[in-house]
Amino acid sequence: MPGKQMAIDADLSAGLIDEATARSRRKELEDQNTFFGAMDGASKFVRGDAVAGLLITFINIIGGMIIGIAQKGLTFAQAANTYTLLTVGDGLVTQIPALVVSIAAGLLVTKAGVEGSADKAMFRQLSNYPQALGLSSFLMVAMAMLPGIPLIPFFLMAAATGGLAWNVYRREKAREVEAMAMPTPGAPGAAPTAPAVEEPISTALAMDDVRIELGYGLLPLINDTRSYRLTDQIKALRRQLASEQGFVMPSVRILDNMQLPANTYVVRIKEAEVGRGDVRPGRWLVLDPRGEPITLPGEETVEPTFGLPAMWVEETYREEASFRGYTVVDPATVITTHLTETVKEHMSDLLSYAETQKLLDELPKAQQKLVADMVPSQITLSGIQRVLQNLLAERVSIRDLASVLEGIAEAVGYTKNIMQITEHVRARLSRLISNMHTGPRGYIPIVALSPDWEQAFAEALVGQGDERQLAMAPSRLQDFIGRVRQTFERLAQEGEVPVLLTSPAVRPYVRSIVERFRPTTVVLSQNEIHPRAKIRTLGQI
């Protein structure tokens, strides 16, 4: 069944069938699944009833003969003759409920996958097959001829069934004659056929927000039963991102792409390729968290998400790799991890105008008044969207949307600049931001920007309002980039992942430079460090 479903989805994606045909095929597949499920349950029930009848018959014969010989003093022949006849009579009586159960099971199977009541479904199916009615009439005539069988009732039922079969047969023949008499399309006198309805060209403009394309060798990952399926992991990912970031990721469409190599997958955001990797179904990806070479037989590779050296090993080496302290990941998790980082990196692009409106509409009634007071008198919905996009671009959660809106309401009282509004909201979320970057040792590791560089950035700002931008000499920028890269790489070798601390006025501009060569480096201002947060200065730029 899953294979048939995948085939339907593949044909729909390739454009071989339209949506209506795909819907019809899915309905047929659902009816087949329902029919086979009902038939399996009914056959098990009838089989159990038949086995019970056989056991009862066997017990009646053996038990009766023992009682007749031991208690009644009968000979073996007399006991066998007497209790065999009694068992046959009892068996005939007990088969009446078994017959009723079998008929009920047949009706259940007949009703499976069919709309309407059971009686209408049964008569509709019988009326479509005159051969079945004719065969039933013939069998009842044959039974009426047997000795001991009541002749008149069976003949009456045979006559009624045969007459019904004849009427159905004549009706079908009449339909065939009418169909042959109707003029064919295009023939003289035939009514002009309506032109085929084409799909509107606007459907070609539809875009998938998030899409994964799989090579044909990766299709088994969708129905993998040994571990979590790719579809199940994506569902869990959407729930996780909603819990962490406060933003519901759009549905992920999974397609097969025959133009890709067999074991290659591609991640697309709004039709643009943003990630690609190779995985090996049936194998496990092994990584060494210490960065040392992996001493297991396998195929050397590079982990697609973070570019770390790794190795694909067979299933037999999985336990040994775990025992040695390696990180062992199945192929579906490799794809999901890559998708997770890719979506987090482009989450601001996925927050559309409609999604922003949906987030505001889902706020509790107590907070709807704040939205009504702000939009559109103080700020437009597009302005709120841009603020939320700025927060998501630096992976700041917007789950506490009420606090974000309160910060926007405070900021719009003195500025309309989106960048300044965002900085005010970030300061309002200082507790959340500080908690996000507090390390396992209980403090925020920071690298401070020196006063000289603070002054250099402040003097390089030109323009006013939304036109304000950074105009620093390229040589100074190269000097700054080199110092930041050198300091952070040295601390990374010591096992530290610090944040760069600046003043509020220059933080957005410093971040715009740092994200170009170190996109994962966090840049905070002093206003975003909560008063109760513990910090530790590891260096200075």
Give the pLDDT score at 181.
62
Task: For residue 184, give the 3-state DSSP assignment.
Answer: coil
Task: Please check the confidence at residue 42 and state whether its pLDDT lies above 80.
Answer: no
Q: What is the domain partition of the chain in residue ranges? A: 2-127, 205-343, 351-428, 440-541
Enter the tokens of residue 58: 């066997």
Strand partners of residue 211 = 253, 268
Name which of 106-120, 391-405, 526-540 the model is least confident about. Answer: 106-120
Task: For residue 277, give the 3-state DSSP assignment.
Answer: strand
Cβ(334)–Cβ(303) below 8 Å? yes
Cβ(60)–Cβ(90) below 8 Å? yes
Distance between CA atoms of 407 and 417, rounded to whole angstroms?
Answer: 14
pLDDT tens digits, one per residue of 258-287? 888 888 999 999 888 998 999 988 889 998
Cβ(397)–Cβ(244) below 8 Å? yes
**Axis crossing angle, helix 331-345 with helix 230-245, rounded to the nearest 10:** 30
Nearest alpha carbon to residue 510 among 464, 456, 466, 462: 456
**pLDDT tier for residue 233 given thresholds of 50, 70 and 90:** confident
pLDDT tens digits, one per residue of 170-219? 877 777 777 666 555 445 555 555 554 555 666 667 788 899 999 888 88
pLDDT tens digits, one per residue of 483-520? 999 999 888 888 888 999 999 888 989 998 998 888 88
Distance between CA atoms of 468 and 504, rounded to whole angstroms?
Answer: 15
DSSP state of 213: E
Name which of 25-34, 192-201, 387-396 the model is least confident about. Answer: 192-201
Cβ(405)–Cβ(246) below 8 Å? no
Tokens 């066998």 correspond to: 80
Backbone φ, ψ for residue 11 (5° rounding): -65, -40
Q: How many CB atoms lie within 10 A of CB 118?
A: 12
Q: Give burial (CB, 10 Å; 0-12/13-18/19+) of 187.
A: exposed
Element of type H or E holding 502 = strand 499-502
**pLDDT tier for residue 1 given thresholds of 50, 70 and 90:** low
Task: For residue 530, give the 3-state DSSP assignment.
Answer: coil
Fold of 440-541: Rossmann fold (3.40.50)
Element of type H or E holding 23 = helix 19-70
Pick the CATH number of 205-343 from 3.30.2130.10, 3.40.50.970, 3.40.30.60, 1.10.150.80: 3.40.30.60
Sheet holding 523-525, edge to edge: 523-525, 499-502, 444-448, 535-540
Give the pLDDT score at 171.
79
Nearest alpha carbon to residue 253 among 208, 205, 203, 207: 208
Task: Please check the confidence at residue 362 and state whether its pLDDT lies above 80.
Answer: yes
pTM listed for this prediction: 0.61
CATH architecture of the domain with residue range 351-428: Orthogonal Bundle (1.10)
Cis peptide before 531 (omega within 30 of 0): no
pLDDT tens digits, one per residue of 129-147? 777 778 888 888 888 888 8
CA atoms within 13 A on the CB side of 19: 5
Task: Please check the confidence at residue 50 and state whether its pLDDT lies above 80.
Answer: no
Enter the tokens of residue 346: 């482009």
Task: Please check the confidence at residue 254 and state whether its pLDDT lies above 80.
Answer: yes
Percent of the chain whose pLDDT exceeds 70: 82
Higher pLDDT, 325 or 116: 325
Percent of the chain whose pLDDT exceeds 90: 15
Enter the tokens of residue 430: 């200082």
Give the pLDDT score at 324.
85
pLDDT tens digits, one per residue of 440-464? 888 899 999 999 999 999 888 888 7
Give the pLDDT score at 35.
67
Strand partners of residue 461 = 470
Give the pLDDT score at 409.
92
Q: How many CB atoms lie within 10 A of CB 393?
A: 17
